[in-house]
Chains A and B, each alone.
Chain A
Amino acid sequence: MFEIKGLSVNYGGIEAVRDISFSVEEGTIVTLIGANGAGKSTTLRTIAGLVKPRTGRIEFMGEDITGKDPAYIVGKGITLVPEGRKIFPDLTVLENLKIGAYLRSDNIEGDIDWVFSLFPRLKERSWQYGGTLSGGEQQMLAVGRALMSRPKLMMMDEPSLGLAPLIVRDIFSIIREISKEGVTILLVEQNANMALQVADMGYVMETGRITLSGKGSDLISNDEVKKAYLGK
């Protein structure tokens, strides 16, 4: 469904991503794990069209989308839940959700109800400003906002960042739930343990390269991964 071939990206004067290739099968959860500065976020931003790649090819459902505008890519069905949530603080929860559906011209009422059923907390707070929500609620809003564009592939950049362990668990159970609804998920995480538990496939990134790949359950018991990322 989704494939990256030989992607290299320069970002901020350095070669942040060096010749990586990987693919995502429809309906699966795929995770990219790795330390700070490994190039995970840059990869996601490049797929979303926010950063232009130096070389390489990004294919989505058989179409070459390399270097296209973000609006085009969102329209094709790829959405990014940005790192640090990036909700709109001075818009209400409902307005935030509506912005997520900005490119759609069909009826979005049903999808608002769908998001509210996934996140009942957001429904209670639909008239509150985004900036007044707690960290966990903001992450829910960021996910809900991304879902409003009816994505086929949802990319999530560090959804567990800065959240309490209990809330992280909630977020991950929601990721599973969304995946069951048929949305393919590409997940970037530093919390390798949680990410590999939910993922079907995992890739380990180090200084811009993919150094390991395998099934989530295999990677979690891999000695190198254990030593480097799981602290065991």
Chain B
Amino acid sequence: MDRAKKNHLIRIFVAIAVVYLAVLVLEFTLRPTSILFTVLRKGAIYSLVAVSMNLLNGFTGLFSLGQAGFMLLGAYTYAIFTMPVSVKESERVYRYYECIVGFDTGSFVGLIAAGLVAAFFAFLIGLPVLRLKSDYLAIATLGFAEIIRAIFQWDVLGPLTNGANLLREYKDLSRITLPFTDIPFPPTLFVFIVAGVCILLIVLLINSSFGRAFKAIRDDETAAEAMGINLFKHKELSFVISSFFAGVSGALLAAFQYTVQAQQFESMMTYEILLIVVIGGIGSISGSCIASFLYIALSEWWLRGLDMGKFLGISAPDLFRSGFRRLVFSVIIMVIVLFFSKGIMGDKELSFERMKAFVKRAGRKKKETAK
């Protein structure tokens, strides 16, 4: 490897290490109920699912809207796998049903299982659905997500899914411990590590020869086929891998929320993720991550006041009522789509060179306006 490339990699790793260290420091200094943790955790979870969606929509050119469905599969798998047998046998969670799952696992196994279950379903669904193109694929995957949501609330599956009732008391973030000990794992760091490793795997995939084949399919299907790339096999591969990581992020979301209910995973959730991908830039991993933290910070924190009567020191309880936040949000989205149609990053990645150039440009502009 040449030196410039090596230096570049070292800088990236240093930057990532700094972020993780900062998270750890925050975890020991701020009070655990701080809103910042909500933003960081949910932001990291949404980063992962947004990147997984980007792998499909941005890098393989498959417009799929099934993300919420795969997250649901992951969340339920994780909850059912990691709920202790004692809880399953008691009436605390499964009140109306006799739980048929007679085992429990640790959180790590739960995460992997969540991914595998989502991937398995993706494999089955992909067989018929991936022969469809663009709009039709989107409709079919959206339909699948809705069907899954309905099935999981179905009475007959109650002994497995607890019907339409909540699942809780599994290994949520407060119950995750360091391996082989009872010491609690710093929860935000846990989310960051899992999401970070998964995103790293996706980045490695995209930069491999498989990733190149995905991009070739996105650019021109006929030419890719003429080069000897098996279209169906590669689409299926991308779909299964994307769903695996959507499943893992669903599991993380379950751990983050302390409870799981199928009702929550509606199509609105997929649109939220799609929005993050579009805002970040279709085909940009770092864009998806930045956009997801921004989106979560806005919706969970900065714009909260719009629903609570007071925003930026202005008190107007009649105007700033529940739901007003969504209205403002819609306007922001329209502005972004109109004026930044390529998203924050376009299809480029964040790099030190780009940041330097940006700061330089901003500085020059400032000077010019000062004159």
Binding site for B on A (CB under 8 A): 48, 50, 69-71, 73-75, 79-80, 82, 86-91, 95, 98-100, 102-103, 145, 149
Q: List B210-264 residues whose CB lies under 8 Å from chain A.
A: 212-213, 215-216, 218-220, 222-230
Interface membership of B347, Cβ < 8 A: yes
**Complex contacts, A145 vs chain B, CB 8 Å:** 227
Q: How far is the CA of A75 from the CA of B226 in the complex (A)?
A: 11
**Complex contacts, A99 vs chain B, CB 8 Å:** 212-213, 216, 224, 227, 229
Q: How far is the CA of A79 from the CA of B213 in the complex (A)?
A: 17
Q: How far is the CB of B263 from chain A (nearest CB, A)?
A: 39
A86-B225 in contact given A91-B215, A95-B212, A98-B212 (Cβ < 8 Å)? no
Q: How far is the CA of A193 from the CA of B55 in the complex (A)?
A: 47
Can you list 22 A-B contacts (CB < 8 A)? Answer: A48-B226, A70-B228, A71-B228, A73-B228, A74-B227, A75-B228, A79-B227, A80-B226, A82-B226, A87-B220, A90-B219, A91-B215, A98-B212, A99-B212, A99-B216, A99-B224, A99-B229, A102-B209, A102-B213, A102-B227, A103-B227, A103-B228
Q: List B17-71 residues whose CB lies under 8 Å from chain A.
A: none
Cβ-defined partner of A89 (8 Å) among B219, B225, B226, B228? B219
The 9 closest A-B pairs by CB, nearest first: A74-B228, A86-B223, A88-B219, A71-B228, A103-B228, A80-B226, A99-B216, A70-B225, A71-B230
Q: How far is the CB of A138 from chain B (nearest CB, A)?
A: 12
Binding site for A on B (CB under 8 A): 209, 212-213, 215-216, 218-220, 222-230, 283, 347
Q: Which residue of A lies closest to B347 (CB)?
A: A90
Of B209, B222, B224, chain A has the most CB atoms within 10 Å of the CB of B222
Q: Are B222 and A50 in contact (CB under 8 A)?
A: yes
**Complex contacts, B228 vs chain A, CB 8 Å:** 70-71, 73-75, 102-103, 149
Q: How far is the CA of A82 from the CA of B224 in the complex (A)?
A: 10
Q: How far is the CB of A49 from chain B (nearest CB, A)?
A: 8
Q: Which residue of A lies closest to B231 (CB)?
A: A70
Q: Which residue of B lies closest to A157 (CB)?
A: B226
Q: How far is the CB of B220 from chain A (nearest CB, A)?
A: 5
Q: How far is the CB of B211 from chain A (nearest CB, A)?
A: 10
**Complex contacts, A80 vs chain B, CB 8 Å:** 226
**Complex contacts, B347 vs chain A, CB 8 Å:** 90
A71-B223 in contact given A91-B215, A99-B216, A102-B209 (Cβ < 8 Å)? no
Q: Are B226 and A90 in contact (CB under 8 A)?
A: no
A91-B216 in contact given A98-B209, A102-B209 (Cβ < 8 Å)? yes
Q: Are A149 and B212 in contact (CB under 8 A)?
A: no
**Complex contacts, B219 vs chain A, CB 8 Å:** 88-91
Of A69, A73, A75, A86, chain B has the most CB atoms within 10 Å of the CB of A86
Q: How far is the CA of A82 from the CA of B222 in the complex (A)?
A: 9
Q: Are A90 and B218 in contact (CB under 8 A)?
A: yes
Q: How far is the CA of A104 from the CA of B347 in the complex (A)?
A: 29
**Complex contacts, B225 vs chain A, CB 8 Å:** 50, 70
Q: How far is the CA of A12 from the CA of B283 in the complex (A)?
A: 34
Q: Are B209 and A88 in contact (CB under 8 A)?
A: no
A69-B230 in contact given A82-B223, A90-B218 (Cβ < 8 Å)? yes
Q: How far is the CA of A103 from the CA of B228 in the complex (A)?
A: 7
Q: Which residue of A lies closest to B213 (CB)?
A: A102
Q: Are B215 and A100 in contact (CB under 8 A)?
A: no
**Complex contacts, A88 vs chain B, CB 8 Å:** 215-216, 219-220, 223-224
Q: How far is the CA of A48 from the CA of B222 in the complex (A)?
A: 11
Q: How far is the CA of A51 from the CA of B53 in the complex (A)?
A: 32
Q: How far is the CB of A184 from chain B (nearest CB, A)?
A: 18
Q: Are A71 and B218 in contact (CB under 8 A)?
A: no
Q: Which residue of B lies closest to A148 (CB)?
A: B227
**Complex contacts, B222 vs chain A, CB 8 Å:** 50, 82, 86
Q: Which residue of A lies closest to B59 (CB)?
A: A90
Q: How far is the CA of A79 from the CA of B230 in the complex (A)?
A: 15
Cβ-defined partner of B227 (8 Å) among A69, A89, A90, A100? A100
**19 more A-B contacts (CB under 8 A) besides A102-B213, A149-B228?**
A50-B225, A70-B225, A70-B226, A71-B228, A74-B226, A74-B227, A87-B220, A88-B219, A89-B220, A91-B212, A91-B215, A95-B212, A95-B215, A98-B212, A99-B229, A100-B227, A102-B212, A102-B216, A102-B229
Q: How far is the CB of B284 from chain A (nearest CB, A)?
A: 12
**Complex contacts, B213 vs chain A, CB 8 Å:** 99, 102
**Complex contacts, A48 vs chain B, CB 8 Å:** 226
**Complex contacts, B212 vs chain A, CB 8 Å:** 91, 95, 98-99, 102
**Complex contacts, B209 vs chain A, CB 8 Å:** 98, 102
Q: Which residue of A lies closest to B211 (CB)?
A: A95
Q: Are A50 and B227 in contact (CB under 8 A)?
A: no
Q: How far is the CB of B345 from chain A (nearest CB, A)?
A: 14
Cβ-defined partner of A87 (8 Å) among B218, B223, B229, B230? B223
**Complex contacts, A70 vs chain B, CB 8 Å:** 225-226, 228
Of A70, A74, A75, A145, chain B has the most CB atoms within 10 Å of the CB of A70
**Complex contacts, B218 vs chain A, CB 8 Å:** 90
**Complex contacts, B215 vs chain A, CB 8 Å:** 88, 90-91, 95
Q: Which residue of A lies closest to B230 (CB)?
A: A71
**Complex contacts, B226 vs chain A, CB 8 Å:** 48, 50, 70, 74, 79-80, 82, 86
Q: How far is the CA of A70 from the CA of B231 in the complex (A)?
A: 10
